[in-house]
Amino acid sequence: MNCQLHLTHNRNRITLEITTNKIIKIKAHPSVSHQRVHEILDYHKNWIFSNPIFQESHYQYINHEKHLYLGCLYPLGILKITNQAQTIQLIDHHIVITVRENFPSRIYSMLQNWYKFEALEVFSERLSLLKSRICWIDWQNKPPLLRIEKLKNQWGSYIQKNNGIITLNQHLTNANPIAIDYVILHELCHAAEFNHSKKFYQIITMIMPN
């Protein structure tokens, strides 16, 4: 695990950031001991290695290997075919892939395309279920635009441009629906309160108290 320590002037806050080249940046005040830094890294190790940047490198994209979808692990069922269309779908608690050439790179490509397609469908459905509880957005006349991207360092973002743009990380398809709902709600709360203020979290708690 490659780590970099960056010194800050803030005595009360220690932050962790994972870069796209798998470097963990720790930002801390010079008074923070190395032992304390190691304790924080150990405490957050599950969060670190669940990050998509580390997850993808662990996969071999072979038969029976388990992959996350909506909070559950599904084994891959790879079937080699010669004269049928290549497909990928959920069947009997398996992600069943029919493919002409069974190469890991091909399985990876098909899975990523499937996750992206599923992301649009699932996120749109979750967003639709939340609409009635988010009263500060004019869903009839000014609905925000939903975008799906394969982000590296964040689960979502909101831009107050035109009617608003909510961007969600494609990797959220790995999470359970409640976690997806929270990220959607978090980003849409920025349409009412731009900063992460006390009022911002009060709005979230009002709608999703747990």
The DSSP-derived string for 5-69 is: EEE-S-SS--EEEE-TTSEEEEEE-TTS-HHHHHHHHHHTHHHHHTSHHHHHHH----TT-EEEE
β-pairing, 87-91 with 94-99?
Answer: antiparallel
46-76-103 Cα angle (round to 5)? 105
Q: Which domains does the chain have, with CATH numbers?
A: 2-55 (no CATH), 59-118 (no CATH), 125-207 (3.30.2010.10)
pLDDT reported for residue 99: 92
Element spanning 97, H or E = strand 94-99
Nearest C-alpha neighbor of 13 from the set 33, 27, 34: 27
Q: How many CB atoms lie within 10 A of CB 79?
A: 12
Is the pTM here over 0.75, yes or no?
A: no
Describe the strand order of the beta sheet including 66-69 as a list of residue ranges.
66-69, 72-80, 94-99, 87-91
pLDDT reported for residue 54: 64
What size, in residues, is the chain? Answer: 210
pLDDT reported for residue 57: 60
Question: Under DSSP, is residue 88 helix (H, G, I), strand (E, B) or coil?
Answer: strand
Cβ atoms of 97 and 78 within 8 Å: the answer is yes
Question: How high is the mean pLDDT in each 10-residue block of the chain (210 residues)?
Answer: 85 82 86 89 79 68 93 94 90 94 89 94 95 92 93 89 92 94 95 91 92
